[in-house]
Structure 1
Amino acid sequence: MMMPLTLTLLTAAVPAAKRGMAYGIWGAVNGLAVASGPLVGGTLTEHISWQWIFWLNVPLGLVLLPLARLRLAESHGTGAPLDIPGTLLASGGLFGIVYGLVRGPVDGWTGSLVLTGLFAGSALLAGFVLYSARAANPMLPMRLFRSRAFSGINAASLLMFLGMFGSIFLLSQYMQGVLGYSPTEAGLRMLPWTGMPMLVAPIAGILADRVGGRPVVAAGLFLQALGLAYMSVVATADASYAAQLPALIVSGIGMALFFAPASHLVMSSVRPQEQGIASGANNALREVGGALGIAVMASIFAAQGGYETGQTFVDGMRPALVTGAAVVAAAGVAALLIPTRRRVERQAAPAEPAPVLETASH
């Protein structure tokens, strides 16, 4: 609930001409969280216990609640009533699919609960699409997907998170289980990747203001794909950190170039009153992409390798990373299909008398 609305509140608070820079700062703050997460989590896991990664959020939430109440300006949507049938269909469908994807590598893809989750979730999501196409006030209007910008950036986000999350899932185990680093040491060595958004995201936001988000997002995705492909080549059972470092840096720059402009593209592809809906849909697709990525990469890993020795782990990880690189490259192609900035803004602007998104595909 929180992540989509941070973008909505930020968009409402910042003039249109400065939103790229604002999204860049937002991306840098997210980058700080991503970079510090493995370090803090690794330290807690190594020196206290892994359960403390959950307890840590309690004091943070208690401190931030009054600050949010006092300092955040209010923002409102369309005022439409809550779409209860749509909410139940979407929530149930996503739960079933994510459950099936997460449990598939563990319980087997033919397990009864896994198949039930996947089929029931797919059926509920299909029902959600059919219902939303006809409902008077759907929580996610299907007409938004007539916009090439909205469809393109959401497809790119889904594929990006699929390739990236699945790869990070295996690489974090590779550094600890194969190369012998402690959780804290592994977190430190991942910093060139996870910490790069702190440095590059503000620059990416400024570039998006000047040249548009499409080329910046596409460049970031292709760099991310290049970094994953390079890592699949240099990863061995005894690879030095120096050999891995270029892949981590390139992947980090690519990830940083993606986040801020992608958020800008999502928010600029719809009308202002629909930005909360657009941000929520994009975040949901990212989460599904991450779960799907872990499931797909784990399945490829299990089919080609295993945990028996360092070499068998590398044998399974390499084809998984190649798959991740190919998926992220496909995300780059999807980004290139997004219309130019001027056309996106023209499509998202209010029209008279009908909403312009009804004819966005033209």
Structure 2
Amino acid sequence: MTKTTITTTQRWVLGLSALASFMVVLDLLVVATALPSIRRDLGASLEDLEWTVNAYTLSFAVLLMTGAALGDRLGRRRMFAAGLVLFAAASAACALASSVGALVLARTVQGAGAAMIMPLALTLLNTAFPPDRRGWATGVYGSVTALAVVLGPVLGGAVTEGMAWPWIFWINVPIALLAAALVVFRVPESRGGAIRVDLAGLLLGGLSATGLVWALVRGNSAGWGSAETIGAAVLGAGTLVAFIAWERRAPVPMLPLRLFGSRSFSAGNTAMFFLSATTTAAIFFTAQLFQVGQGLGPLAAGLRLLPWGILPVVLAPSVGALADRIGARNLIALGAAAFAVGTAGLALTAVPHVSYLVSVMPLLLSGAGLGVAIPAVTRSAVSLVAPPDLAKASGAFSTMRQLGGAFGVAIGGAVFAQTGGYGSAARYIDGYTPAVLVAAALALCACAAGLTLPRTVMAAPSTPPPPAVERV
């Protein structure tokens, strides 16, 4: 095979993997500009809107590494197709939801489908292409996936305004079902061996994340001193301690804690957690600011968010190459600091009917910050890991990214509920400003994590540690 030729099978694998990942990432963001419409139609509270986002993110994060392990054990093609079918069914349930509770439940199942799709899409792609073509294939895959970040809020706004918010979910159904059928007939089956699933780690990790997020989301309405809030926080903290203790001695840990012995890995994952937290919180509240606080329609709101999506896509290739030459430390710190300054600018200039020209510079600055920080964070957390650990390191990185998003929305929501509300544009902005200032502070935490990286450019270890995956 020449460098300019790929087989028909490889084309199908690349196209279907990219399409599936596009849908998954799109559904992380497509609801942002639909949130005010969902709130009006279903009588949703702020807490309900938070769970509309976090139910998807949490189940996605908690089940992601398990989805990859099930694919290795039962067949990657089979589980990839099953994930697409589950995603389609859950999308239909989201569209048909007549209450917030039904929507949140459907979003939880949709996240479980995403957790099966995302890791297996990349695994099938890497299996289909030889090493000398893998970089090109993953580049195409990454570009298509990044496009979902750009189009998510815009598409959500256009569909919500032109049709109705349930159609942001209905669109998934025929695409996912057609993709599942094509996967069965066009993608070759592959397995990674019988990998033992760390069920105890999965349960403890899931309880920890859910308990902590539950306490943050419910604290305002149930009372911060209530038995529900304190109980959820204690459950989350206790199971987090138990998770760490279990992963230290588990025969096949879901998350090998020895990976955190690498300063590059631990700092990169910490920075990604806070970057995802600040980004998700800022998008969650700013998409609503343009509608609730400034009276714009969903499409206009989505278009105004474009700088956050376009600049990371434009800057990522050159920043990735720069990180290879000079290291990730300064790029992460600079990018996160730029996002913090831009986000703080958005918070401090928010007034009803403010000109977009006032908002566009902070948006451009924060979007550029993401474009600089995220490729450098990815390099730090994943690319320097020894090959035997790469799969679990990548899964841990994706999990931290999703968990960060859930915590960012929960923390921002807690601040917003104390200071603002949906009663008027002015009241919304009263809550928006402190909530987004907290998001800016989370970006500074990412900056601090980046500064803990070594100053020198590191290479991947030449002698890898023992494999993180045990075959049984």
Shorter-normalised TM-score: what interval?
A: 0.7 to 0.9
| Contact persistence 1:224–1:253 (CA under 8 A) | yes
| Contact persistence 1:213–1:341 (CA under 8 A) | no
Number of residue-to-residue matches in the alignment: 351
1:105-151 alpha-carbon deviations (Å, 9 max, x no partner): 45443454444333223222221110110122111111111111111
Post-superposition offset of 1:88: 2.0
Of residues 303-312 and 22-31 in structure 1, the stretch that sits farther from structure 2 once superposed is 22-31
Q: 1:267 to 1:9 in 2, by over 3 A?
A: farther
Q: 1:148 to 1:25 in 2, by over 3 A?
A: farther
Specify the SS of the correspondent of 1:345.
coil
Partner of 1:311: 426
| Contact persistence 1:25–1:201 (CA under 8 A) | no
Q: State whether structure 2 residue 288 is matched by structure 1 residue 170.
A: no
TM-score, normalisation: structure 2: 0.66
Distance 1:8 1:112 in 2: 44
Identity across aligned pairs (percent)? 36
Q: 1:188 aligns with which of 294, 303, 311?
A: 303
1:215-236 alpha-carbon deviations (Å, 9 max, x no partner): 3333221221121122123222
Post-superposition offset of 1:254: 1.4
Which letter does structure 2 place at the counterpart of 1:350?
T
Distance 2:118 2:225 in 1: 34
Q: State whether structure 2 residue 132 is matched by structure 1 residue 48.
A: no
Which letter does structure 1 place at the counterpart of 2:344?
A
Distance 1:162 1:9 in 2: 29
Partner of 1:118: 233
Which letter does structure 2 place at the counterpart of 1:251?
S
Q: 1:24 to 1:119 in 2, by over 3 A?
A: farther
1:191-242 alpha-carbon deviations (Å, 9 max, x no partner): 1122322322222223233333333333221221121122123222231001
Q: 2:463 aligns with which of 336, 350, 353?
A: 350
Q: 1:159 to 1:10 in 2, by over 3 A?
A: farther
Post-superposition offset of 1:68: 5.1
| Contact persistence 1:156–1:332 (CA under 8 A) | yes
Partner of 2:417: 302
Q: State whether structure 2 residue 217 is matched by structure 1 residue 130.
A: no
Partner of 1:30: 145
Distance 1:44 1:267 in 2: 36
Specify the SS of the correspondent of 2:458.
helix
Partner of 2:205: 90
1:141-166 alpha-carbon deviations (Å, 9 max, x no partner): 11111111111011101111222211
Distance 1:233 1:177 in 2: 17
Distance 2:384 2:119 in 1: 15
Of residues 6-15 and 192-201 in structure 1, the stretch that sits farther from structure 2 once superposed is 6-15
| Contact persistence 1:162–1:291 (CA under 8 A) | yes
| Contact persistence 2:386–2:460 (CA under 8 A) | no
Q: State whether structure 2 residue 350 is matched by structure 1 residue 235.
A: yes
Distance 2:149 2:419 in 1: 30
Which letter does structure 1 place at the counterpart of 2:366?
S
Post-superposition offset of 1:322: 1.9
Partner of 1:276: 391
Of residues 266-275 and 187-196 in structure 1, the stretch that sits farther from structure 2 once superposed is 266-275
Partner of 1:147: 262
Q: 1:89 to 1:141 in 2, by over 3 A?
A: same
Distance 1:9 1:313 in 2: 45
Distance 1:304 1:279 in 2: 38
Partner of 1:332: 447
Task: List gaps (5 residues or longer) in structure 1.
Answer: 358-362
| Contact persistence 2:217–2:413 (CA under 8 A) | no
Distance 2:328 2:139 in 1: 11
Which letter does structure 2 place at the counterpart of 1:329?
L
| Contact persistence 1:93–1:121 (CA under 8 A) | yes
Partner of 1:360: none
1:230-282 alpha-carbon deviations (Å, 9 max, x no partner): 21232222310011001111111112223333223222232212222112222
Partner of 2:319: 204
Bigger RCO of structures 1 and 2 (CA < 8 A, at least 6 apart): 1
| Contact persistence 2:293–2:351 (CA under 8 A) | no
Of residues 281-290 and 21-30 in structure 1, the stretch that sits farther from structure 2 once superposed is 21-30
Q: 1:37 to 1:271 in 2, by over 3 A?
A: same
Q: 1:62 aligns with which of 177, 181, 193?
A: 177
Q: State whether structure 2 residue 374 is matched by structure 1 residue 259.
A: yes
Which letter does structure 2 place at the counterpart of 1:120?
L
Partner of 2:216: 101
Distance 1:261 1:67 in 2: 35
The alignment yields a C-alpha RMSD, in angstroms, of 3.0
Q: 1:131 to 1:274 in 2, by over 3 A?
A: same
Which letter does structure 1 place at the counterpart of 2:403?
V
Q: 1:325 to 1:23 in 2, by over 3 A?
A: farther
| Contact persistence 2:267–2:449 (CA under 8 A) | yes
Post-superposition offset of 1:3: 3.2
